[in-house]
Amino acid sequence: MATGRLSGVLLLWVGRRAPDPFEALADEFGARLARHLPFAAVRVRPASGRRGDPKRALAEEAAAVRNHLASGDTVVALDEAGRERSTEELAAWLGARRRGGRTVFVIGSDLGLDSGLKADAHELLALSRLTLPHALARVVLLEQLYRACDLLAGGQYHRATLG
């Protein structure tokens, strides 16, 4: 298995702060992930007036997300209709991204993600075909990213091997 550090990961998520147990888990897996690669998580506030005009709210949220994107970023939008990957597939994909620029994962608000933002993303990723609460989706994504990085590093957290 190749060694070396992966390029950085940014998690952009639109929403309100989750209950403390979810925040603690997200912080824990974010800290573990940061041991393997540069990592940051940024919360984007949901747009106001969401009930009156959800399309406008989604467009405002997308604009706020785009403010955090840079040229060369690989954008992965989470969407239940996206591509599902196994842990091993996710690890291999991340491994192939080494030194390939920053990878930005985007979790939308409870309204979802703006269709234009999804269309502009390099990939749509589904954690599951089930609809997950956003706080849980964030924890699952962070845990899987940590698991994938630990697997790439030859760690014992994931009890299977690549190959």
Judged against a pLDDT cut of 70, whether residue 161 lies above it is answered with no
Average pLDDT over residues 76-93: 94
DSSP 83-129: EE--HHHHHHHHHHTTTS--EEEEE-BTTB--HHHHHHSSEEEES-S
Q: Which residues contact 160 (CB under 8 A, 6 or more apart)?
A: 87, 88, 151
pLDDT digits (tens, 9 = 90+) for 109-137: 999 999 999 999 999 999 999 888 989 99
The region of weakest confidence among 26-30, 96-100, 134-138, 145-149 is 96-100
The class of domain 24-152 in CATH terms is alpha beta
| 160 vs 14, higher pLDDT | 14
Judged against a pLDDT cut of 70, whether residue 5 lies above it is answered with no
Pairwise CA distance, residues 148 & 9, whole Å: 13
What is the predicted pLDDT for the residue at 98? 73
pTM assigned to the model: 0.91
Judged against a pLDDT cut of 80, whether residue 1 lies above it is answered with no
The DSSP 8-state label assigned to residue 70 in this structure reads -
Within 13 Å of residue 85, how many CA atoms lie on the same side as its CB?
18
Q: Which residues contact 135 (CB under 8 A, 6 or more apart)?
A: 15, 18, 19, 22, 23, 26
What are residue 77's DSSP bridge partners?
106, 124
The region of weakest confidence among 30-44, 90-104, 108-122 is 90-104
